Structures are given as structure tokens and as C-alpha cells.
Amino acid sequence: MNYEEMEAEANVSTVMQFVLLGFSDLPNLQGLLFGLFSITYIMILIGNSLIIILTRLDTALQTPMYFFLANFSSLEICYVSVTLPRVLVNLCTQDRSISMRGCATQMCFFLMLATTESFLLAVMAYDRYVAICNPLHYPLVMNHRVCIRLAVGSWVCGIPVQIGQTCQIFSLHFCHSNHINHFFCDMPPILKLACGDISLHELSVYVVVLLVGAVPFMLILASYSKIISTVLRLPTSRGRDKAFSTCSSHLLVVLLFFGSATITYLRPPSSHSPGTDKLLSLFYTIVTPMFNPLIYSLRNKDVIAALRKLFLKI
């Protein structure tokens, strides 16, 4: 063992807890950030809950497309609840400490739900592909049993992979610094605290991201390439407009989620900066769940009609 390795080994300490620095570099904006994030969280809960309620109450929305949309809204509520309440507590109390176990739990649930979102977006793209490219076979192909299996598969497929990855990351040794320059326990900032050679761990992160991110994204691209070619062959402009209107909402959510997540996780470690990572993370942890109800409701006549019926009943 050479001198550098001995020195690194000597500097390893048993880290029992981490400190989430979050937005501590903005001391004068803590109250404003708390207010903004509180309003955002309430909007996410209300907006996504409203979509779930509408799809359950309105018979016109009890189709496979809206079944998956209700699953997606449920996912967004769970997804944002993994990170945002902790951010609010840190801003309110200024106590930024989090135990090793708490950090690992937060990361594990975050990664599992992110994987679910990735696959659920692919399932939603497949649903649109069948509806537009094979409309006569749509009721047969996307029957209730198939929809249940696709939804359950999206929710559970990432659980063993992400549990294994979380255990692998938290089995590393961490140096004296236990300050995570982020607002939640994410992989890139935690890997920066690890001692020694972590190239194999970084490689495993890339492999998992490609598996749970790139594969669903390629399936989405394949689905939409077929959809676009089919839509362009439709004889009437009204049919084309309706098809594009149905798909554009989903595509916008796909671009927001996959775009920001890909830049965050597939950039070289040397190009990571805390400020950029936080900004990108805000997109796929908070912005997408917040805009999901607006994107799907404002661009969807069926949802707007169901919303009007609900308000009239109330």
C-alpha cells in the first residue's frame, strides 16, 4: 500500500449522518423559498389529486389512457413527497442533518419512483401507439387485465435494481466531509464524498441509468415515430389535430423529465457543479409534477369537460 492510499485510509471516518446544505448559500431567501416550495407542494397535491378524482368519477375518463394518467398522477404525489417535505423542514428549522439510514431511504425511494416514472411514460406512449396505429384492435389489446399488468410492472420493476444500487453506494467509505451540497440525497453529490477509487461504482450508475432511462426513452421514440407516420397519413386535418393534441401533452412531460435527468446523470463527474445539479434536479423533482396536471388538463377537452361537471355538481 503506497503513501497516498495509506493517507486516504487514515482519513476515512465512520459517517453516522449527513448535512444537506440545500439552499444555505442563500441565507436572506430562506423565508421566501419556504413560501414558494410550500405553495408548489400544495399545488402538486391538489392538481394531481384532482386528476385522480376526475378519472374515478367521470365515466368518460374511464379508459386506458386516463387509467395510466391516474397512475402517473399518483406517482407524482409520491415522487415529490420523497424530497419536498424534507426541504421544507430544513428551511423552516435550519436543521439540515439527516441520518445515514434516512439518507439511504430517501435515495432508494427516489430512485425507485424515478424508475417507475420512466417506465410508466413508456407505457403511456405504447397506449397512444395502439390507439392511433391500431384503433380497431385497441379495446382488445389494451383490455383491463393488460392495463393492470403494465401499471404494476412499471411500479415494481425498478425496486430490486434500485435497492441493490442504494446498498452498493452506502457500502462505500466516506471521508471526513459529510456535507451534501444538494437539497436531497441524490447519487452524484453523495459519490463525491466517497474515498478511494469509485470508478466501478460510477460505471454501475451509468449502466443502471441507461437500463432504466435509455431503454424506456428508446421505446417512447419508437412509439412516436410510428404515431407520427400514421398521423401524417390521416385524410383530414381535424383527425391529425386531435391525434397531435392527445400526444403533445405526453411528449412535453417526456422532454421535461428525460431531458433534465439525462443531463444530470450522464454528464462526466468532472463537469458536475452543485448549482447546475440543483437547478436540473428542480426540473425533474418539482417542476414536472407541478406542471403535469396543467399540461394534461389545459390541453385535453375531456378533462376540462369532466372538471366542469364536477364543479357544477359541487
> Which residue segments constitute the domains of the chain, with CATH numbers given?
14-313 (1.20.1070.10)
Q: Which three cell numbers stand for residue 10?
A: 487514515
pTM of the model: 0.86
Phi and psi for 197 in degrees, rounded to 5?
-85, 115
pLDDT of residue 2: 43
pLDDT of residue 298: 64
* The residue to which cell 421505446 is assigned: 219
* Pairing, β 17-20 against β 179-180: parallel
Indicate the helix (H) or strand (E) that contains 210: none
Residue 269: per-residue pLDDT: 61
Burial of 127 (0-12, 13-18, 19+ CB in 10 A): buried
Q: CA 9, CA 196: separation in Å to the nearest integer?
A: 8
The Cα 139–Cα 137 span in angstroms is 6
Kind plus residue range of the DSSP H or E element containing 170: none
* CA angle, 275 then 281 then 282, to 5°: 95
In 3-state terms, what secondary structure has residue 166? helix
d(CA 33, CA 38): 8
Alpha helices in the chain (DSSP H): 3-10, 30-57, 64-93, 100-133, 138-141, 144-156, 159-169, 187-191, 199-209, 215-232, 237-266, 274-282, 288-298, 301-313
Cell of 243: 391525434
Cell numbers standing for residue 230? 400514421
Cβ count within 10 A of residue 145:
8
What is the rounded CA–CA span in Å between residue 124 and residue 111? Answer: 20
Identify which of 209, 207, 201 has the alpha carbon closest to the alpha carbon of residue 173: 201
pLDDT block averages, 10 residues each, the chain of length 314:
43 69 84 92 92 88 90 93 92 88 93 93 92 90 94 93 91 81 87 82 84 89 88 74 72 82 70 72 84 74 80 77
The pLDDT score that the predictor gives to residue 8 is: 43
In the chain, the N- to C-terminal Cα span, in Å, equals 74
Residue 44: which of 20, 73, 68, 72 has the closest Cα?
A: 73
